[in-house]
Chain A
């Protein structure tokens, strides 16, 4: 066994997977561009609409889960307010780029500029939260981040003049829909484009965490004191991981705003954080592909319940409750019986099942 393999977390993924993801991402974006820039158009059969809608949401949440996995899976930072960075990115993009919103700020700047500012805004918030709270014990970091998310949620609801209250910001430009020939083509192109972006992110993050840099992050999770004692500035690494994750969430928020054409507090509840966390734990934290697969399972439940709804006599909101009960119990069962997740490495995570 070589030295490299014996190091904790020597290599999670065999070389080449990062390149695969980058390749797939690039191809997806190319195909999306073909759909958008040529008169080529797609038609989606009625029954499949829901797959595309959930699929787009999945790739956007995919960015969230990748960022969270960098924070929790690799570095061990228990961020339970991940939705706040998503929301800040989305609101920043919406307020800067929207034109003629019903209520709230709408500045009408170009969307590309807005997207950059959205990412920066989320990163700055991440830096502020990180600088103040990353020294807290794990479970208290969870509480601070959760409280931060709740504070921002309250701000969004209450400052109607700025954030548009419960209605949110309307009239956000939808660049993909504007370019596409019709709404079906726009859905297909959006899924390909965002899916490509998520795949590219997966590739880049895999590169990052396969590098010695990722090894330091995993060492911090395993034992911060030891890592510090070999001369690593652990706080700086934790801070970087936290800010990267926050910026990625802000980017996801920006994409969401530009796809959805509107943002409202209802899109950014604690439910988003819970979904992403459960997806990550189910798949297996610290394995980028696994967390995406776990998230796919959890979000796939939405599809199952959508179709089961058609054949069952129960009311829709009763069905939503049943789905959430199942999701909650999955979380409980995963932590109890497979603490490393389905595809996670138990030895790597230092947990016993």
Chain B
């Protein structure tokens, strides 16, 4: 398999990581917490979608919308019960709370949904580009045969749609502008008459919606089980920090970097060591935190 094919895979992986990472980074920037339970939000969204398709015979796009609405509500509910009451305690207690909540949610899902993995039944059309000439550098083929499935196009298309919507929301609507103001300086935002708690609720809903969409896309592209969200959280987190925690645009860039690194490392790593690709993503994360802690765009995380 050539590099070009892996670039396709990387863009697809980057796309759903990006959707989730936007939500993660908004929570980080505005609620000021690292939400370790966020991976579970993806799982919950995906399972709501699968339940909708399975129980009510609704078409997939409708099920995705149902999942997004459900994800938003679940996110708001969890925030109101678990996070809003301890908003003033600082980042570490909130991080620890989210770890506990994540553990409980993950096992709750496992208990109700079982250990098996589910997926969305979709018809796949595959576009092949076989005529490309081989462009070999050493043992690595730079072009080679490329295929794109319709599912992959859906994932990337959804991601682009999300970027446009989030950008519009953040720049053109009052709520979005208030969100950015709160991300910059919460006290100043409150002085200007912004209802910070309402904005926080909005952020939770938005993050839940995005997580659910990412979860459904994961279910379309591969499959989901109770552990899916947890296996994604470190990549989402890496993407968000790589991009500069708190910056949605940085998170998008970070997500594609992570996605491409994960995919391309399978080309360059010897066979049998492809499992190392996730370690490489974390190495990038650590490297970024040490060299340029503010990420590609964003704020200072170093104290001294």
Show the binding face of A for B, using Cβ within 8 Å.
78, 132-133, 135-140, 142-144, 146-148, 150-151, 154-155, 157-160, 224, 235, 274, 277-278, 281, 317-318, 320-322, 324-325, 327-332, 335-336, 339, 351
Contact = CB atoms under 8 A, between A and B. Distances in A.
Interface in B105-143: 105-108, 110-111, 115
Contact of B92 (A78, A135, A154): A78
Contacts of A277: 96, 99
Contacts, number: 133
A160 B274 CA distance: 12
Contact of B103 (A137, A138, A147, A328): A328
A157 B234 contact: no
A336 B91 CA distance: 13
Contacts of A336: 85-86, 97
B303 A335 contact: no
A335 B96 contact: yes
Contact of A339 (B93, B275, B304): B93
B111 A328 contact: no
Given A154-B276, A324-B103, A139 B92 contact: yes
Contact of A281 (B34, B96, B237, B276): B96
Nearest to A271: B103
21 contacts: A78-B92, A132-B286, A133-B286, A133-B289, A135-B303, A140-B289, A142-B34, A143-B285, A143-B289, A144-B285, A274-B103, A324-B103, A325-B107, A328-B101, A328-B103, A328-B105, A331-B99, A331-B100, A331-B103, A332-B101, A335-B86
B55 interface: no
Nearest to B226: A321
Contacts of A330: 100
Size bracket of the B interface: 35 or more
Interface residues of chain B: helix, strand, loop or mixed (majority): helix
B303 A136 contact: yes
B57 interface: no
A111 B283 CA distance: 32
B95 interface: yes
A126 to B, nearest CB: 15
A330 B31 CA distance: 23
Given A143-B285, A274-B99, A351-B89, 16 more contacts: A133-B286, A137-B302, A139-B95, A140-B293, A150-B234, A150-B279, A151-B279, A157-B275, A158-B272, A278-B100, A317-B115, A318-B111, A321-B110, A328-B100, A328-B102, A329-B100
A332 B282 contact: no
A277 B101 CA distance: 14
Given A150-B234, A154-B279, A142 B92 contact: yes
B289 to A, nearest CB: 6
A342 to B, nearest CB: 16
